Structure 1
Amino acid sequence: CLISKSDSMFYAVRKGRRTGVYRTWAECQEQVNKFPSASFKKFVTEKDAWAFVRGGLPAQQQQPEPAGDFAVVYTDGCCSSNGRNRARAGIGVYWGPGHPLNTSERLPGRQTNQRAEIHAACKAIEQAKSQNIKKLIIYTDSKFTINGITSWVDNWKTNGWRTSSGGSVINKDDFERLDNLTRGIEIQWMHVPGHAGFQGNEEADRLAREGATKQVS
């Protein structure tokens, strides 16, 4: 289940503690309340909200700003021929230009786009923990991953890892791993639109596509 446009408005913060697009006024308010010369606006569509955040900046500058003591990482997963026998999936993790933790790997196991998105986030969290990072912002273009870990997973666990309709959770093992990894670290999940000129997301996408061409390690 994807978030429909009627669920809420999109709150864009162009200048504040952390720039980006938020789904609730409360989240937006945290970034702009008492912030000098804060710039923010409410939109009906996510596309318009991100356009306001970018403010017409060239693509290389379209980068949400790090927030205080939070580390920032971009993750992405891709899969060519998704759903077919010849599918090849890869994961990409992007920390910054030339960063030693930047990762491009082939996805092990079942080759699907959704699994790749989840595993990319898992990899980023594992790396953050290895560096003793306590606060992490993960930018991903996968609403499925964000919804799964922030909303659906608690209901699945309550229902014995069953969906609300009683069916099996397709990516149960992957979400179990992600859920376990999120313990002991504070994570802010942020959605960023894919292929919209955001350098971090574009780099993570490139790394994921490269990973899909590699052999499983």
Structure 2
Amino acid sequence: MASEDVVVSLPPDPDKVVQIWTDGGCKPNPGPGGWAAILVFRNVVKELSGAEAKTTNNRMELIAAATALEALKRPCHVVLHTDSQYLQNGITRWIPGWIRKGWRSSTGEPVANVDLWKRIMAAAEVHRVDWRWVRGHAGNDMNERADRLATEARRAAFGGG
């Protein structure tokens, strides 16, 4: 009887995982927008944010994720938390079909934001990324902080509510 190797999947060591929370939005949509990302590694927190004059909620969500991944200095295990189902589904479910169809949607239309999807894919390929969806405005402290940072970035650049 041959012995079999047993593979045990252990949870990631929290001291070796970068936790990232991202958010983005516009007011109105489309219009002036802001994005933010919070990166946490061990006890070090880095906050990134920015704004664009003419954009969409979806673009801001994607820019937050791309910028956060690009900020990492070496390959990492990342848990990226997003309240954007567009980002979550796009990166985990839709991209293979889009690529297979030459960046066309299921209706045959060109995929929106191809530039940012490609940027995220390039930034993510050197990392092990677990994409986690969190419900927005549901009391998750880090998601709420990312939302505030994105709003502050938009307001600082363009004023308004």
For the aligned pair, the TM-score class normalised by the smaller chain equals: 0.7 to 0.9
1:15-164 superposed matches below 5 A: 67=14, 69-83=16-30, 87-95=31-39, 101-107=46-52, 110-128=54-72, 130=73, 132-164=74-106
Q: 2:139 aligns with which of 197, 202, 217?
A: 197
| Count of residues in Structure 1 that have an aligned counterpart in Structure 2 | 148
String of CA shifts for 1:44-100, please: whole Å, max 9, x gaps.
Answer: xxxxxxxxxxxxxxxxxxxxxx845211011000111103xxx1111111235x956
Read off the aligned partner of 1:189 and give its amino acid letter: W
Runs (4+) of structure 1 exceeding 3 A deviation are none
Note the residue ranges of structure 1 that are not aligned, 5 or more in a row. 1-29, 33-65
Name the SS for the 1:75 alignment partner: strand
Read off the aligned partner of 1:104 and give its amino acid letter: S
Contact 2:38-2:45 within 8 A present in 1 as well: no
Name the SS for the 1:102 alignment partner: strand
Provide the C-alpha distance between the structure 2 equivalents of 1:213 and 1:192, rounded to a whole number of angstroms.
Answer: 24
Cα deviation, residue 145, structure 1: 0.2
Provide the C-alpha distance between the structure 2 equivalents of 1:107 and 1:67, rounded to a whole number of angstroms.
Answer: 34
Contact 1:75-1:121 within 8 A present in 2 as well: yes
Provide the C-alpha distance between the structure 1 equivalents of 2:121 and 2:75, rounded to a whole number of angstroms.
Answer: 17
Contact 2:75-2:126 within 8 A present in 1 as well: no
Read off the aligned partner of 2:100 and give its amino acid letter: T
Cα distance 1:79–1:171, how it changes in 2: closer, same or farther (>3 A)? same
Contact 2:20-2:37 within 8 A present in 1 as well: yes
TM-score by length of 1: 0.62
Q: Which has the higher strand share?
A: 2
Match of 2:119 in 1: 177
Provide the C-alpha distance between the structure 2 equivalents of 1:148 and 1:214, rounded to a whole number of angstroms.
Answer: 30
Provide the C-alpha distance between the structure 2 equivalents of 1:195 and 1:118, rounded to a whole number of angstroms.
Answer: 19
TM-score by length of 2: 0.82
String of CA shifts for 1:87-137, please: whole Å, max 9, x gaps.
Answer: 1111111235x95620121137x4100000000001110112x2x251110
Note the residue ranges of structure 2 that are not aligned, 5 or more in a row. 1-8
Provide the C-alpha distance between the structure 2 equivalents of 1:107 and 1:185, rounded to a whole number of angstroms.
Answer: 27
Q: 2:110 aligns with which of 168, 178, 183?
A: 168
Higher relative contact order, chain-length normalized (CA < 8 Å, sep 6+): 2
